[in-house]
Amino acid sequence: MNLFTHFQTAIVGLIEDLVAAGDLPHGLDVARITVEPPRDLSHGDITTNAAMVLAKPAHKNPREIAVLLAAKAEALPGVEAVEIAGPGFINMRLNKTFWQARLRDVLDASLSYGDSSFGGGVKVNVEYVSANPTGPMHVGHARGAVFGDALASLLDKAGFSVTREYYVNDAGSQVNVLARSTHLRYLEALGEDIGPIPEGYYPGDYLVPVGKALAKRDGDKWKDAPESEWLEDFKAFSIAAMMDLIKQDLDALGVEHDVFTSELDLVSAGKVDEGLAFLKEQGLLYQGVLEPPKGKLPDDWQAREQLLFKATEFGDDVDRPVQKSDGTWTYFATDMAYHLDKFRRGYASMIDVWGADHGGYVKRMQSAIKALTGGQGDLDVKLCQMVSLSENGKPFKMSKRAGTFITLRDVVDKVGKDVVRFIMLTRKNDAGLEFDFAKVTEQSRDNPVFYVQYAHARVNSVMRMAVEEMGQDVITDEAIGGADLNRLVDAAELNLIKVLAQWPRMVESAAAAHEPHRVAFYLNDVAAEFHGLWNKGKDNKSLRFIVANDKELTLARLAMIRAVANVVASGLAVFGVTPVNEMR
RNA sequence: GCGCCCGUAGCUCAGCAGGAUAGAGCACCAGAUUCCUAAUCUGGGGGUCGUGGGUUCAAAUCCCGCCGGGCGCACCA
């Protein structure tokens, strides 16, 4: 349970009682009432702004309302003390029994602790990666991949019905380039000297095996044939090969998708025409000429009449072209059709994860969705900023030509998927991220991956030690599970439990904000609290987890630290990171 | 020129749908280990939250202007 929403409901109930008793007027809006942890823990465990929010509509002094509410709040189960502070905050301190019961919650729920019905089963579509099928993934893709994957897991944990989707851009001109590049490699495989790969082709040697495969399959059949004869086939073959490559990369990263949607299929199925026909009916398409962009003018710019979508009616800055001069659809047109398709599949709530360089595209897509769904659909675009690679602070310059191009696979092979995933989630998606090969594998307090993993490992270490000291017939899962949690009364222990009990709320708020990085900071807090308590045992032997002459207390404390491992593992599961039992 | 994002301690960053005296790590200073892993912990100094207005009982948080940085600006995806 989220203890804050629990008390929010309770407080609203108290307000209703006061209304019924005539102490407060009818018709008060309680939506703005919050129950949250206070900034300063000395203020108590939970605090509410209820009195301040109600003051104006109730035509009463906030402190007056606070007095009424506080008197009733004292009787709420779990509440130990209530204080009124500042301009009208009502601060509540919860009793030991309440916290011990929360620890029981953690232990009972195990890995599912923090699962919530917050999302109410609402369908959400999260689209991420969607890298062009023209080559293996590079590090830039990794951030979006991990972010999208973690966000999807987070939403899932928070009770949304999530679909993880990948949009395959297999219809544009890029894939024609891919096909031609493969053809070159095909010629090469037949023994021709192709020389250096010309400008405008994909130079990567990942196409070499694709060319070879085609040479093996078809011999020299396409050697002198005109492009029109082999293009479609080479394209399909190359795309399939590239998607294999990408899926292998995703697999190495532990990133999964439920659905791969092909742009080509979408176009062939007539979805683009369908979507545009709808816009036309609405009178949202017209032939027009766009103003030249201000500032630096492209060299080849020329005024041209084209088919435009009235994006400005839905909040965009200019109207947007949907058709290229050769008559084919723009990327935007197919993307509109794609999002309409998602909406029709039941996803009113859509999240797209893009690179920051696509930021200029957000408004037009959102305006299109407004138009296409009559305002029923919602798109949140999460832009992921650049990842800059470095080693011991020295920036890693990436260059395809110089051969220092770093693929996703290189990074995963070097530091492991768990490190990559965790680090990618330690910053807000819209902030730049530095990935230092030396720092991310360092075993120190600086390195959040290590620090959090170490907390999990340390719990296991203590468990092993306890078995060693007290015997495996004493320290059993059953004994720990049945431990008397009332023995946990020290303030330091209760503080640790309090941090653990924040997890359900953390899941909900991070999910609501679409910000998985909050989980990383929370896990760091959990680890800090745990390491802190461990260390207190150094100064004060009575606080050690293993107390030789007190089996019951030891079992209770082992239950407590098992809960720590539980919450850490539950959080890491959202990140797709495997908790470790030993630091090696 | 326009749009989007960002500006918080010396450095790297948190700040939870506006809440009380703005936090953490690093670095710096002072400490802790015959002891469950010191791979850690405790304490201390350090901030006009870029800036000027506005809304509010309450603004780092919301709105507007300005300054500084990043990204993007038909017919590429």
The answer on A270 and A223 residing in a single domain is: no
Is residue A423 situated within a structural domain? no
Q: Å between A132 CA and B77 C1'? A: 8
Please name the nucleotide lying closest to A444, CA to C1'.
Answer: B39
Residue A352 makes CB contacts below 8 A (sequence gap 6+) with: A127, A128, A365, A379, A380, A381, A382
Q: CA torsion sign, A251 to A254 to A260 to A264?
A: negative
The answer on A159 and A297 residing in a single domain is: yes
Look up the protein residue whose alpha carbon has the minimum distance to the C1' of B32.
A539
- Where is average pLDDT lowest: A2-11, A185-194, A313-322, A437-446? A437-446
How many CB atoms neighbour CB A551 within 10 A? 15
Residue where a domain terminates, one of A199, A233, A253: A253
Q: Which domain holds residue A529?
A: 444-575
Percent of chain A whose predicted confidence (pLDDT) is above 90? 69
Look up the protein residue whose alpha carbon has the minimum distance to the C1' of B58.
A87
Query: For residue A108, what is the enclosing H or E element?
Result: helix A96-109
Is residue A353 situated within a structural domain? yes
Q: Å between A507 CA and B65 C1'? A: 38
- Left, alpha or beta for A29 (phi > 0: left; psi -120 to 50: alpha)? beta
Provide the CATH number for the domain around residue A509.
Answer: 1.10.730.10
- Mean pLDDT value across residues A116-139: 93
Residue where a domain terminates, one of A207, A226, A253: A253
Q: Å between A564 CA and B32 C1'? A: 25
Please name the nucleotide lying closest to A175, CA to C1'.
Answer: B77
Is residue A341 situated within a structural domain? yes
Q: Å between A428 CA and B63 C1'? A: 24
Asked if A454 and A583 touch (Cβ cutoff 8 Å), the reply is yes
The answer on A350 and A463 residing in a single domain is: no
Please name the nucleotide lying closest to A515, CA to C1'.
Answer: B16
Look up the protein residue whose alpha carbon has the minimum distance to the C1' of B7.
A431
C-alpha count within 13 angstroms, C-beta hemisphere, residue A121: 0
pTM here is 0.95
Residue A371 makes CB contacts below 8 A (sequence gap 6+) with: A279, A282, A284, A309, A310, A313, A314
Tell me the residue type at A11.
I
Please name the nucleotide lying closest to A557, CA to C1'.
Answer: B36
pLDDT digits (tens, 9 = 90+) for A186-237: 999 999 999 999 988 998 899 999 999 999 999 999 999 999 999 999 999 9
Q: Report how many domains make up chain A.
A: 4
Q: Which two tokens stand for residue A72?
A: 């009733």
The answer on A540 and A450 residing in a single domain is: yes
- pLDDT of A404 over the 80 cut: no
- Mean pLDDT value across residues A501-510: 93
The answer on A556 and A500 residing in a single domain is: yes
User: Above 0.85 for ipTM, yes or no?
Assistant: yes
Is residue A414 situated within a structural domain? no
Is residue A199 situated within a structural domain? yes
The answer on A366 and A247 residing in a single domain is: no
- Mean pLDDT value across residues A442-446: 82
Distance CA A332, CA A329 (A): 8
